[in-house]
Amino acid sequence: MKVYQKIFIACLTLCSLFFSGITTVKADEIFTSSAKSTYLIDADSGTVIFKQNEEKRLPIASMTKIMLLDIVFDNLESGNLTLDKKINVSKNSCGMGGSQVFLQEGGTYLVGDLIKSVAIASANDASVALAEEIAGSETAFVDLMNETAKKMGLKDTLFSNCTGLPKPTQYSSAKDVSVMLRSLLRHKDYYRYSNIWLDKLVHPDGSETTLTNTNKLSKFYQGCDGGKTGFTNESGFCLAATAKRGDMRLIGVVIGEESSKKRFKEVSEMFNRAFSLYESTLIVDSVKPCQDKAKIKGSKQEYVNVYPKNNLTVFTKKNSKVDCSVETVIFSDLKAPLNKGDKVGEITLYKDGVEYAKTDLILNENVNRLNFSEAFDKVAENW
């Protein structure tokens, strides 16, 4: 046998040995990302489905406004802000540039309309107007954003403004952005705006600005009902989006894609894979009262229904068996008066014997203290 023939046979043998040692992975079980940072999770449990450079610190452009909106809705729920409050916008807010709705300096706008402008059109001017209303200045509001990020445990995030306009001292990561969006999704009123595809902002002088949702998945992807886009030359094309089908909600984040089309395509593909391979099973339903009731001393109703604050679901591969159990603890020292929403206990979900998720037990009604006459009647009844 000639030398070149021996070499050829040896090469074939080596190739055969090499390829026989490679583990074959089914195409529907893998996902690759061309983004600089990528993260996909189950929103309810926080289970990570896919990650790639998820902690890499990068500019995130207008995805910064996720934190802005979260703080705005916190202020609405605490009563520090109302949707119908009128704000006189400053010269500073009107001069932001970039994405804007062209607020008129000194003009009066409703808080709800400013939120709509941020959530739909990613308006920088409306963002600063809200920040100034809440904290007095954008600088003070940025301090609040960084304090909130610290409380959330975000280790790879630093804010220098509330808009995401380029600054070298501003960055985040796909993982941290997912935490921010997960927090924003707690606010039910957020969905009043995030689902809108086309709207308008009417200015004080009667002129109008058309608002078109920058998150195209809100119209073109089944189940997508929230999220935030971002783009600057420094950040590339970014997207954080959420979609829900059945009991399963996903959050997908990409940072630094090469085109707008690519960011939407990639997040859509991640969602498709996850929805096809996984499922969430609702174990604890927040709209149903617990079997056990709370005993409240000094109240007209001695026993009161309690409700889970949030749903508890189990995230698994489809058709897999899951061993789940629930433990309910209601506080024993409850005394009237108590208010709707007050915490009166906890409910814990266990998966395969290990703590998996937990939520508060709350009241769904006010519980008043007995007045003198009612207390007298109660004593007489039991005499």
Query: Is 127 a catalytic site residue?
Result: no
Instruction: Compute the distance between CA of residue 102 and CA of residue 208 in angstroms, rounded to an integer.
Output: 10
Question: At 109, is the secondary structure helix, strand, or coil?
Answer: strand
> Which one from 33, 37, 45, 62 is the annotated catalytic residue?
62
pLDDT over 70 for what percent of the chain?
A: 89
pLDDT at 377 over 90: no
Residue 31's SS3 state is: coil
- Res 337: pLDDT: 94
Contact 127, 68 (CB under 8 A): yes
> Taking 60 as the threshold, does the pLDDT of residue 8 lie above it?
no
Q: Is 37 an active-site residue?
A: no
pLDDT value at residue 345: 98
**Domains and their CATH numbers in the chain:** 37-278 (3.40.710.10), 285-381 (2.60.410.10)
Token couple for 245:
């089908």
- Which DSSP helix (H) or strand (E) runs through 313? strand 312-317
Residue 245 CB partners (closer than 8 Å, separation 6+): 222, 223, 275
Which of 228, 115, 129 minimizes the C-alpha distance to 172? 228
Q: What is the pLDDT of residue 245?
A: 96
- Coarse DSSP helix, strand, coil percentages of the chain, rounded to the nearest 5 percent: 35, 30, 35
* CB contact at 8 A, 229 and 239: yes
Catalytically annotated residue among 45, 93, 122, 127: 122
ω before 337 within 30° of 0 (cis)? yes
322 — pLDDT class (breaks 50, 70, 90): confident
Neighbours of 259 (CB within 10 A): 11
Active site residue 172: no
In sequence order, which ranges of the chain are alpha helices (DSSP H)? 3-20, 65-78, 91-94, 111-121, 124-135, 138-152, 174-184, 191-194, 217-220, 260-277, 372-381
Selection from 151, 140, 89 nearest residue 114 by Cα:
89
Q: Assign 30 a pLDDT band (cuts: 50, 70, 90).
A: low
Active-site residue, selected from the candidate residues 65, 116, 175, 216 = 65
pLDDT in tens, 165-189: 999 899 999 999 999 999 999 999 9
pTM exceeds 0.75 for this model:
yes
In this prediction, residues 352-359 reach a mean pLDDT of: 93
pLDDT at 5 exceeding the cut of 60: no
Q: Average pLDDT for residues 340-362, to the nearest whole number?
A: 95
- Cα angle at 134 between 130 and 135, to 5 degrees? 115
pLDDT tens sequence across 43-67: 999 999 999 999 999 999 999 999 9
List the beta bridge partners of residue 324. Answer: 351
Mean pLDDT score, 224-243: 98
Which pLDDT does position 375 carry in this prediction?
52
